[in-house]
Amino acid sequence: MHHVTPLIGIVVIGLVLAFIFGAIAQRLKLSPLIGYLLAGIAVGPFTPGYVADQGLANELAELGVILLMFGVGLHFSIKDLLSVRRIAVPGAIGQIACAVLLGWGLGHLLGWPAGGSLMFGLALSVASTVVLLRALNERRIVDTERGRIAVGWLIVEDLVMVFALVLIPALASGGQAIGWTLLVTAGKVAAFVAFMLIVGRRVVPWILHWVAHSGSRELFRLAVLAVALGFAAGAALLFGVSFALGAFFAGIILAESPLSQRAAEETLPLRDAFAVLFFVSVGMLFNPAIVVTDTLALLATLAIILLGKSIAAYAIVRAFGRPNRTGLTIAASLAQIGEFSFILATLGSSLGILPADARDLILAGAILSIMLNPLLFALIDRLAPPREAAPAPPAPKKGHVVLVGYGRVGALVGAGIGKGRLVVIETEDDVGPLPEGTDAEMIVGNAADPDVLARAGIGEARVLLVAIPDTFEAGQIVEQARRLNPDLCIVARAHRDQEVAHLDEHGATHTIMGEREIARRMIELAKG
């Protein structure tokens, strides 16, 4: 009979339960992160049944942190940050300071040491990258001004947390010579950064290009992981800085390579798997009894996350002269905590800085805030609905083009149409300027609504171009448009054969799938 070792046990049971609870959370339209945390609670020491090995869980969590930080660095965009730096940099720093102050105040009232209270406030100050990006993507506002500000704001928060992860261990072990300890730590970090900028920027791209030319996908995937883990270990062994900082800078250096997109795609499955195990290990630390024993403290923690941070962010955005709707969107985007909060909670517990009650409040606050975050966005939609554009002037009897969706694909399509009347239908009013040189106008609304299509003159249109990526919504738009204009030429986009079939069944004249168009163009070029 095979013996199940503790390592196999925690990996198998952790991933299986994470899948089950994550699938349930997804079905309930919640973040899968909640399911992963619940899986950890289920195998933790505070609930009955199987108890996973906490020591092994922490080691797997460390790998998860390394790969999470590598992913953050890999997607770090200086361009996105610079485009909104005037509001994102002071805004994020101001909001972090406000949350830290509120967290410190709550910790002081609860009788915690000053260091633990400050770390508690720091953990409450940073939003979850996963949750924020998912919320923006679901509402198709990543490419809007609001979306760019939220992403830039998040980048600044992440950078602050990266430096915090470097400084906190130094502060914890500083003793009387804390100034000297910080100076030495700063010197080590500066030496590591210089090494990465001088040596890493040359060596890493060279390694990846050399491996890519071998034609082995397996070897390329292994090379990317070796870079991430190797630089993380080297940062710790040679420069005395954290694994997390080494992995973060490895990701930044790799992001400059033309192969960065491929590197991100090849390592995503492994990064996701270890990230899941990280969340499971964090869930194991959580004692659910705190919901009953420290209800008032938990409510105060939630108030800081949902109200304190949000009010501070809203006030800062409005102080910079941005519209009310932008302020509300940023406020809702940041009204939750996640990955970095868990990393800080784990680090604080291991260093003996963070009280156990504070750690439990952070985890409970994360779970509940992630659950409540979609409700805040729904509330914003009620408080600040999209600005309704004036009704479109009467459309010509025939010949104009209706374009649904003005994201990355829609903007390219609109710019390429050339002269002629173009009516764009979008759910948001700040997606970007319409193409110059065209008689273009925008209607704000949901194109699945027959009234919105009628305002766009769909009955007299020559072509309907559905450029949104959501196949279900696109199918509804195609169906409504076909009813209003049976002879209309409808062109939609899809990613898979099943989506093509779905759109064709609902009345699309042509459905374009990227892979097919690539193959068709390659065949045309091959034939000359």
**Environment class of residue 111 by beta-carbon count within 10 Å: exposed (0-12), middle (13-18) or buried (19+)?**
exposed
More confident of the two residues 320 and 342: 320
pLDDT greater than 90 at residue 70: no
Rounded mean pLDDT, 46-56: 79
pLDDT of residue 390: 47
CB 20 within 8 A of CB 28: no
Least confident of 95-99, 246-250, 411-415, 416-420: 416-420
* Three-state SS at 446: coil
> Can you tell me the distance from the alpha carbon of 75 to that of 154, in angstroms, rounded to the nearest whole number?
12
The Cβ of residue 230 has, within 10 Å, a number of other Cβ atoms equal to: 15
Rounded mean pLDDT, 93-105: 94
467-506 pLDDT, tens digit per residue, is 888 888 888 999 999 999 998 999 999 888 888 888 888 8
pLDDT of residue 103: 94
Least confident of 87-96, 119-128, 363-372: 363-372
**Environment class of residue 449 by beta-carbon count within 10 Å: exposed (0-12), middle (13-18) or buried (19+)?**
middle
Tokens of 71: 């992913």
| CA 46 to the chain's CA centroid | 30
CB 396 within 8 A of CB 420: no
Length reported for the chain:
528
Q: In angstroms, what CA-CA distances link 345 with 28, 48, 164, 282, 518?
A: 27, 24, 12, 9, 47
Tokens of 20: 């089950």
Q: In angstroms, what CA-CA distances link 380 with 65, 371, 377?
A: 33, 16, 5
Mean pLDDT taken over the chain: 82
What torsion do the CA atoms of 177, 180, 181, 187 make, to the nearest 10 degrees?
A: 180
> Can you tell me the distance from the alpha carbon of 196 to that of 252, in angstroms, rounded to the nearest whole number?
10
Tokens of 251: 């990701």
The amino acid at 119: M
- Please state the pTM of the whole predicted model: 0.69
What torsion do the CA atoms of 19, 21, 24, 29 make, to the nearest 10 degrees?
A: -100
pLDDT greater than 70 at residue 1: no
364-389 pLDDT, tens digit per residue, is 898 888 878 877 887 877 776 655 54
Which one of 190-199, 276-285, 518-527 scores highest in mean pLDDT? 518-527
CB 35 within 8 A of CB 16: no
Tokens of 207: 């390694």
CB 409 within 8 A of CB 424: no
Q: In angstroms, what CA-CA distances link 374 with 94, 306, 335, 370, 380?
A: 24, 12, 10, 8, 10
**Environment class of residue 463 by beta-carbon count within 10 Å: exposed (0-12), middle (13-18) or buried (19+)?**
middle
Rounded mean pLDDT, 78-98: 85
Least confident of 93-107, 177-191, 217-231, 463-477: 177-191
Sheet holding 421-426, edge to edge: 439-444, 421-426, 401-404, 463-466, 489-494, 510-513
Query: Which of 34, 13, 14, 11 is closest to 24 using CA atoms?
Result: 34
pLDDT greater than 70 at residue 184: yes
φ, ψ at 513 (rounded to 5°) = -115, 130
Query: Which of 223, 197, 194 is closest to 210 using CA atoms?
Result: 223
What torsion do the CA atoms of 104, 106, 109, 115 make, to the nearest 10 degrees?
A: -30
Query: 222: Cβ–Cβ under 8 A, 6 or more apart, which residues?
Result: none
CB 340 within 8 A of CB 348: no
